[in-house]
């Protein structure tokens, strides 16, 4: 049986292995045909020569990451072990610049291949579509880019909108004024903003109209100048809504449209505005399109598995 020994140098084995060797357990899940043993400052692996070469390659990338950031978690491990190449990993993780220093000094940057592509595409185009499943960071990255543009005085305001469509549920009458009725629909946008702007400052921005959060219906008739505008949940727009939104674009405006075509909550036989827009605008200069997939998921590792499982069912249909 072939044997590979990797010795950890100038790295804390306890931190690299994780609490109760949690990181080693993850490695074992990804390499079930190898026998992996972690003792002292060494990792030993036994098995097929080709598998050992792949294991050595992936461990080397993990060690480089840990040496640079002194941190390793299951999301990083997952991205390293599932990336197509070391170049993909380099591009997708920490090679990106910090977009925003958020609340508490949190560094917010593009974490995956396609988040990085989204940042690059937004730098080249005034309108970008971010398409892909839940949990891939489309909205979060979009809000980070908007906050960055506002802080850099590239725009004067941020406008966040989404169609007020119920996700397969009938919520009935909602109490309160118009803001209180709409806030539940806008919660993902508020959550992202609260990560990036201190609460008092955010409230002040909203009060002054520097940051506006409103349902899509409120966009009709407006010309959106000097603004970074994000349409979230774009898959739930109709043809008329999408056309109306896209034509609101004014001078010095940036538009980002996010959507997951796999989670459409429109009535049956209603064509999704985002699906139509992707076909109509795919060859228009100045419009960028970035597709996300399960490799970009930055939520719990189960989310990636759930997306893959549903994709299998949908492909059979």
Q: Over range 19-38, report the average pLDDT.
A: 89
pLDDT digit string, tens, across residues 109-127: 888 888 989 999 999 999 9
Residues 241 and 262 in one domain: yes
Lowest mean pLDDT among 29-38, 181-190, 193-202: 181-190
Residues 16 and 141 in one domain: no
Q: How far apart are CA 272 and CA 268, in angstroms?
A: 10
Query: Which of 42, 60, 91 delimits the end of a domain?
Result: 91
Residues 132 and 223 in one domain: yes
Q: Comparing 177 with 61, which gets the higher pLDDT?
A: 61
Kindly report the average pLDDT of the chain as a whole number: 84
- State percent of the chain over pLDDT 70: 85
Residues 153 and 252 in one domain: yes
pLDDT score at 96: 57
Overall number of domains in the chain: 2
Query: Which of 56, 91, 126 delimits the end of a domain?
Result: 91
Count of CB atoms situated within 10 Å of the CB of 100: 20
Query: Which of 42, 71, 91 delimits the end of a domain?
Result: 91
Q: What is the pTM of this model?
A: 0.69
Residues 60 and 128 in one domain: no
Q: Over range 211-239, report the average pLDDT.
A: 91
Of the candidates 59, 50, 15, 51, which has an alpha carbon nearest to the alpha carbon of residue 35?
51
Residues 135 and 276 in one domain: yes
Residues 100 and 87 in one domain: no
pLDDT digit string, tens, across residues 250-302: 999 999 999 998 888 888 888 899 999 999 999 999 999 999 987 777 766 67
Provide the residue range defining the domain that includes 61.
2-91
Residues 60 and 73 in one domain: yes
- Give the CATH number, domain containing residue 52: 3.30.1370.10
Residues 225 and 263 in one domain: yes
pLDDT digit string, tens, across residues 129-184: 999 988 888 999 999 999 999 999 999 999 999 887 644 444 455 555 555 666 67
């Amino acid at each position: 049986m072939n044997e590979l020994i990797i010795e950890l140098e100038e790295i804390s084995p306890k931190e690299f292995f994780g609490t109760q060797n949690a990181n080693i357990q993850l490695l074992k899940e990804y390499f079930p045909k190898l026998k992996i043993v972690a003792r002292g400052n060494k990792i030993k692996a036994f098995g097929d020569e080709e598998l050992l070469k792949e294991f050595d390659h992936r461990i080397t990338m993990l060690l480089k990451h840990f040496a640079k950031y002194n941190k390793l978690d299951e999301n990083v491990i997952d991205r390293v072990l599932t990336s197509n190449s070391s170049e993909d990993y380099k591009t997708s993780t920490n090679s990106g610049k910090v977009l925003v220093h958020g609340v508490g000094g949190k560094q917010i940057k593009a974490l995956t291949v396609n988040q990085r592509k989204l940042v690059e595409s937004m730098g080249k185009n005034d309108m970008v579509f971010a398409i892909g499943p839940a949990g891939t960071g489309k909205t979060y990255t979009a809000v980070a880019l908007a906050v960055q543009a506002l802080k850099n005085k590239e725009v004067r305001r941020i406008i966040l909108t989404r169609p007020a469509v119920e996700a397969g549920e009938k919520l009935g009458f909602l109490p309160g004024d118009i803001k209180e009725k709409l806030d539940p629909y806008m919660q993902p946008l508020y959550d992202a903003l609260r990560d990036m702007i201190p609460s008092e400052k955010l409230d002040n921005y909203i009060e002054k109209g520097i940051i506006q959060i409103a349902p899509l219906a409120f966009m009709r008739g407006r010309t959106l100048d000097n603004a970074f505008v994000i349409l979230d949940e774009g898959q739930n727009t109709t043809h008329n809504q999408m056309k109306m939104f896209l034509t609101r674009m004014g001078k010095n405006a940036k538009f980002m449209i996010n959507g997951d075509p796999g989670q459409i909550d429109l009535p049956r036989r209603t064509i999704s505005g985002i699906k139509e827009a992707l076909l109509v605008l795919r060859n228009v200069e100045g419009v960028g399109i970035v597709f996300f997939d399960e490799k970009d998921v930055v939520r719990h590792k189960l989310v990636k598995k759930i997306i893959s499982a549903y994709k299998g069912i949908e492909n059979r249909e």
